[in-house]
Each structure stands twice: as structure tokens, then as C-alpha cells.
Amino acid sequence: MTIKASTSIAFTVIIAALFVLAACTVPGPLGPGTTTTTGTYDDARVFTPDQKLEAKAFTSVADLESFLQENQGSSYYGGWAGSTIEMDMVAEEMAMDAAVPAPTANKAQGGSDDYSETNVQVQGVDEGDIIKTDGEYIYTVSGSTLFIVKAYPGDEAAVEHRLSFGKGQPQGLFVKDDRLVVFGRLTDYGLFDELGITSRTSMTYVEVYDVSDKDDPELEEEFLFEGNYFESRMIDDHVYVVTQSYPEYGPRPMPLFVDGDVVKEVPISSIRYFPYPYDSVSFVTINAIDLDSGDHSSETLAVEASRELYMSHNNIYLAYTKHINEWELQRRIMIDLVVPELSEADQELVEKIKLTDNDVLSRAEKEQKIFSIIERYTNYLSPDEADELEERMEAALEEELAKYDYFEYTVINKVAVDGLDIEPVANGKVPGYVNNQFSLDEYDGVLRVATTVNARWSSVKDSRTESENFVFTLDEDLEILDSLDGIAPGESIYSTRYMGERLYMVTFRQVDPFFVIDLSNPKDIEPLGELKIPGFSRYLHPYDEDTIIGIGRDATVSGRTQGLKISLFDVSDVASPEEVASWVSTQQYSQSTAEYEHKAFLFSKEKGLLVIPAYSYDWRYGEDRGYNGALVFDISKDDINVRGLIDHSKGAQRSWGQAVERSLYIDDFLYTKSYGLLRINSLDDLESVKDVELDQKVEGDIPVY
């Protein structure tokens, strides 16, 4: 007998790899109590792209515990346990700040109605940010301090008041009339101990202030929500703060929240899951607060690690990527093929392992033990038997892979929102992953989604596929109405912007194809035109219905990335979009936060104004070799010219990275904010009007120098 050494070695490597995989890759269950003890092992746990899913509620704490037991080892657990429900607390224990008033400055002179607001994706759906204005005052965060600045008129600007959040740095805020909403991450373990909470993660605090008296803000409402801050939105008088946590199997697995002075749990009936196999379970909790009444509600979804959130006026969409793992398929096939060939004693042992209570053995431990039995069996196979088993495995894997058109999908959870009413209503899937929140858009009840499917190498076919891009339309139940595929093979989506019945999209590998796509008939998506130019745009913003602003990078014809670039695209002739103007930085490694953070992008068509943070790598070396500040442009529908730089070298927090975080205008004053400085300049000539230092030092008895 001639031994095929290479085949035997390859088969041994496969077995060893699958054994390791069994110890570290553990898909989750279909739902509470789901087990598979006969037939094909784990068949019910396979992600099926065409499976229609509906959100299901846990009927009891035991159901939730069973769900989490099944997922032990599949995600990082950092939950909460040992909570004391309805524990009374003193209000002082919940204080998140020590408000220290600044010296009284000028009295209010009245604000302006002409001021910029946060640049948001959907008009009427505000997004939490680190700076807001009401036309007279600016509210902004630096470090652990929130500053209330009397900002208008600009030449009289001064810090009116400081709020210090020593126990948790603010991550964003909203302003609505005389109410200020502040939220951030809290890791006060001393407070957690006082509450009887054992914590391995953080909580998100939300505080609502009455700021009618700017010198003396009054704390009206305070909440703590379990988990890290994820996203926030505000519609009219309702604020939605979304948190993300990692559940833990334990005495009290439900997410906690603290309302005023009482610790509570999200009701079990308000926790939903979807009946598909989870790879890494996390809880996303949508917390709604009514600013008028102070009432609130929470709804929790058991999902996988959420990547993006998009909110329309009526719905929140949570999107995350689900992968189909070829090695995971091989693992299941190995179990299916080998277990029936084991000795009767070993088969009985495998069955006992499967039926062992999850409290004794986690799923990961079960699978590792089963694979140790399989490995022991395969070690004694002859070379011919090993070859035959390997061939059967390859044939079965090829047959299994043929069932899938794609190997990564965006899972979308649709949650209807109306004031305090929060209700999961649909779940859908489309091939590929989404780039950011601008990849999704709702229009006339239709959800539009743009995705990229990554390039993929297959061990079975020994081949590599190219990346490709898609556009989908989905109905109210998230069923696919139509799709457009084969867009820019080999490239990836860098930016998208939906404007009414059109989608503008940029992909990139070597050149920048700017696409115009017709979505007027959601059942018949049609490409309208495209333009290829060097470089790419990371963010697209409408100038008007026929003109698009793009901000990104210039590039060589071979795709080598250059410096910052701003483009103006004329799309009046949809079949032949045209770049009518552009500005390219002479600094090769220049960049802007506005490329990936739309809230840093300030634009006013009426004022012909565009302002973006700007930083060049050479700035750190001094000698006027670069810049660090905000670039101000004159912009029209067919031209763009740089007016100047608002320098923020003095406001930089460190010697590298971009200093300017945000910019806004009030009337004829431009305000640019960095970590330690609020600069005020005239919009007319950009001359400096005043600098306001955002000094976090709190006044006291000890002088600070």
C-alpha cells in the first residue's frame, strides 16, 4: 500500500483546525430551550438567508435564562447580577455633577433666529452631538465639563456656567426650548455597590435640566440605563437613547435601569429575540423619554453586535452583518459524517454530552468534547480511509456551499416608534454589509439599502470572487421588492446619499465611479448614469436637487490616495453626471473629520458657506508646514474656493490629530470649537472677533496657575 503522505497530513490539519474551532466558535440557539438530540446535529442552528423571522417575546425569566445558557461562550459577558430591586436611594447619590457657577457675565441680549443646527441625516430627526445652540447660547462638551456659553453677539461671548461630570464624561446632548438633555457613560463602581449592583460594564446616564436660568440649571430628571451608549435621536419632545450591553446568565439577566431613586428591570415582556442562530448575542435597548412628562419606556432586542442605526420619523432600523462561515459548515459536516460511524459506546457518549445540562457544560465545552471523540476515531483511520472520508467531506461541503448565493448578509431589525410606544415589527436580510447609517433610507414606506459583498476565497473551489455592490428596495415587512446587482465589481461603496427618488453612490478601488440610480419605482431599480474620476468621496451632501457636494480624497490613476478633496457634482443630466468644480489640498496627507463624521460638516446654501475641520500631517513639525483648524469655503452650485483657515493650534488637545471638532454660525458670526477653545470670527471677512477658552478648571479657594 502506498501512503499518500500529503493527503493524510492535510486531513490531519483539517481535523485539528476543526477541533480548535469547536472550542472557540459557538453559534447561538434558535430560541429558549431549543436543543437538537436526533438527526443532523445543529441543523436547526444554521443561518438560512431566506428564512422569514419575526420578533418573539420571552415568556418568563426561565426562558431568557435558557436562551443565555445556550449562548455561554459565544460572546463576551459583561452583564449585571445581584441587583436589589426597588432599592431606595438618596438623591445625592445619583448626582452626576457638581455644578459650579462661573462668574456672572453679561445679561442676555436676545438671540438670533439665523443659526445653524446639527447636520443630520433626516430633517426633523435630531441627532445627539457634543455641541448645540439656540441662537443665543452655545452648549458644548469638552472632557468631563459641559459649558454654557453666552455666544451672541459674538464680541460679548463668555462662559456663563459650567457643569462638571466627574463620574462620567458626557458623550452628547440635546437642547429643546429651555431643556438641556445630557448623556454619557458612567463607571462609578462605588455607586454601583451602593445600589447593590455587581457590574462588569458601564451604564449610560441621561439627565434633563431646566436651563431657563443659565446661571443655575435645575436638574429635573435623571436616569441610568444599563449598557454603553450607542446612538441617540430626538423627535419633537421625545428623546431616544439607545444602549448596548452584553447579557449574562445569572440571577437577574434582564437589563437594568434606574429611574430617579429606584432600581428597576426591563420587563421580561419587553425583551425580544429573533429565532435564528446567534454568533454573538448582545442586548440593544431603546430608551424613550418624554421631556414634558418625564415618563419613559424601554424595549430590549437580543441581537448580534449592532453596527449601524438609522431612524426615520416612524421607525428605527438596526443593521448588523451576519457571516456564513465555511469552517463552521465543515465542522457540522464532520459531525454528521463521523458520529454515525463511531462505536455504539462512543455514539451513546456523544448523545449524553448533547443532553448534559447547560449549567454543567456550555455548548462550547460540549462541542469540544464531541470533537475529542471524533479526533480519537480519525487518528486510527488508515490512509485510504482518511482519503475516502476527506473526499466525502469535500463533496458534502461543496453541496452545502452551493445552497448559498452569498456568505455575508445584513440583518435589519425594524422597530416602530411613536412617542413612548416602541414595538419591533419586522426583520429582513440582504446580501452584503452596509457602509454606515447613510446606506439606509426610508421613503414612502419603502426601505432602500446599499451594500457591498466582500471578495471571498473558497477552499473548495480554490478560487476567489470579486467584491460587488447592490441596491435593494424592501417593503414595510422588509421583503425585497427589487435589487440592482453587479455594480462596480471589485470595488467597495465609500458613500451614499438618497435624495427623494434617487440614490447617489460612490465606489472606489482605483478611480471614483459616481453613480446616479433611479428609485422612483421601488419594484424596478434602474441605473441612470455614472462618472469616473480619480479619488473618492466619503461623504455626500445635497447642495440642491441638481448638485451634490462630495468630500473625500484625491488619488492617482493607480489608486494611490492623496490629500483632501472637495467636489461639486452636477446631476441635472442624470445620464451624464459631471464634476463641475473641485478643490484639492496641496498638503498630501491632509484630512478632515467631516469625511466620516457628518456632524462636523457645516453648510449653508443661503450664505454660500462650507466649513470643515482640516488637519495636515506636517502640522506637528511646525515651521508653518501644515495646518490644524477649520477651512472656510465660498461655495456655489458651480464653484468652490477656499477663503481661509481658522487656526486652532492653541485649542489642540495633543500634538497630533485634528483640533477642530465642530463649527456653527449664529447670524454673521462663525463659531469653531476645539477641545480647549471656542473661536469666534466674522463671516464677512473671517477676522477674529473673540476667543473663549473652554477652561475646565473649577473655581475654588486654591489659586491655580
Q: Residue ranges per domain, the chain?
A: 5-30+325-401, 48-95+172-323+412-430, 432-584
DSSP summary character for residue 26 = -
Q: How confident is the model at residue 80 (pLDDT cuts 50, 70, 90)?
A: very low
Q: In this predicted model, what pLDDT tens digit does every residue of 491-530 receive, in sequence order? A: 999 999 999 999 999 998 777 799 999 999 999 999 999 9
Helices and strands, counts by H and E, the chain: 7, 46
Q: Does the structure show a pLDDT above 50 at 97?
A: no
Residues 673 and 662: their CA atoms lie apart, in Å, by 5
At residue 589, the pLDDT reads 79
Full strand arrangement of the beta sheet holding 256-259: 170-176, 179-186, 203-210, 218-226, 256-259, 262-265
Q: In this predicted model, what pLDDT tens digit does every residue of 24-34 receive, in sequence order? A: 444 443 344 44
Residues 668 and 102: their CA atoms lie apart, in Å, by 27
Peptide bond connecting 340 to the previous residue in cis, omega within 30 degrees of 0: no
Using an 8 Å Cβ cutoff, are 535 and 552 in contact? Answer: yes
Q: Does the structure show a pLDDT above 80 at 337?
A: yes
Using an 8 Å Cβ cutoff, are 269 and 258 in contact? Answer: no
At residue 199, the pLDDT reads 57
At residue 421, the pLDDT reads 97
At residue 338, the pLDDT reads 93
Residue 657: Cβ within 10 Å count: 13
Burial 187-202 (b: 16+ CB within 10 A, else e): ebeebbeebebbbebb
What is the mean pLDDT of the segment spanning 368-397?
91
Q: Which residue has the higher pLDDT, 314 or 254?
A: 314
At residue 93, the pLDDT reads 34
Q: Does the structure show a pLDDT above 50 at 1?
A: no
Radius of gyration of the chain (CA): 28
Does domain 432-584 match CATH 2.130.10.10? yes
| Structure-block grid coordinates of residue 369 | 468534547
Say what the alpha-carbon torsion angle 420, 425, 427, 432 is, to the nearest 10 degrees: -50
Q: Which residue has the higher pLDDT, 371 or 69?
A: 371
Strand ranges in 218-346 using DSSP code E only, listed in sequence order? 218-226, 228-235, 238-245, 256-259, 262-265, 271-273, 281-290, 296-304, 308-311, 315-323
Closest CA to 131 of 204, 182, 166, 169: 182
Residue 552: Cβ within 10 Å count: 26
The secondary structure element, H or E, covering residue 126 is strand 126-127
Closest CA to 172 of 203, 124, 139, 212: 139
Q: In this predicted model, what pLDDT tens digit does every residue of 644-676 receive, in sequence order? A: 999 998 866 655 568 899 999 999 999 999 999
Residues 244 and 301: their CA atoms lie apart, in Å, by 10
Q: How confident is the model at residue 12 (pLDDT cuts 50, 70, 90)?
A: low
Q: How confident is the model at residue 618 (pLDDT cuts 50, 70, 90)?
A: low
Residue 359: Cβ within 10 Å count: 10
Which of 220-234, 260-274, 392-406, 613-627 ranks highest by mean pLDDT?
A: 220-234
Residue 300: Cβ within 10 Å count: 27
DSSP summary character for residue 414 = E
Q: In this predicted model, what pLDDT tens digit does every residue of 275-321 receive, in sequence order? A: 777 777 889 999 999 999 999 999 999 988 768 999 999 999 999 99
Residues 552 and 505: their CA atoms lie apart, in Å, by 13
Average pLDDT over the chain, rounded to an integer: 84
At residue 29, the pLDDT reads 39
DSSP summary character for residue 280 = S
Q: In this predicted model, what pLDDT tens digit does every residue of 558-601 receive, in sequence order? A: 667 778 999 999 999 999 999 999 999 988 778 999 999 999 99
Q: Does the structure show a pLDDT above 90 at 365?
A: no
Q: How confident is the model at residue 264 (pLDDT cuts 50, 70, 90)?
A: confident
Query: How many residues does this entry show for the chain?
Result: 705
At residue 95's C-alpha, the angle toward residues 145 and 420, to 5°, is 95
Residues 701 and 182: their CA atoms lie apart, in Å, by 28
Q: How confident is the model at residue 617 (pLDDT cuts 50, 70, 90)?
A: confident
Q: How far is CA 17 from CA 40, 331, 656, 662, 703, in A?
A: 21, 9, 43, 49, 64
Q: In this predicted model, what pLDDT tens digit does every residue of 157-215 receive, in sequence order? A: 999 999 999 778 999 999 999 999 999 998 777 777 777 776 556 789 999 999 999 99
At residue 88, the pLDDT reads 35
Q: In this predicted model, what pLDDT tens digit does every residue of 525-569 receive, in sequence order? A: 999 999 988 888 999 999 999 999 999 988 766 667 778 999 999
Q: Does the structure show a pLDDT above 50 at 489?
A: yes
What is the mean pLDDT of the segment spanning 65-80?
57
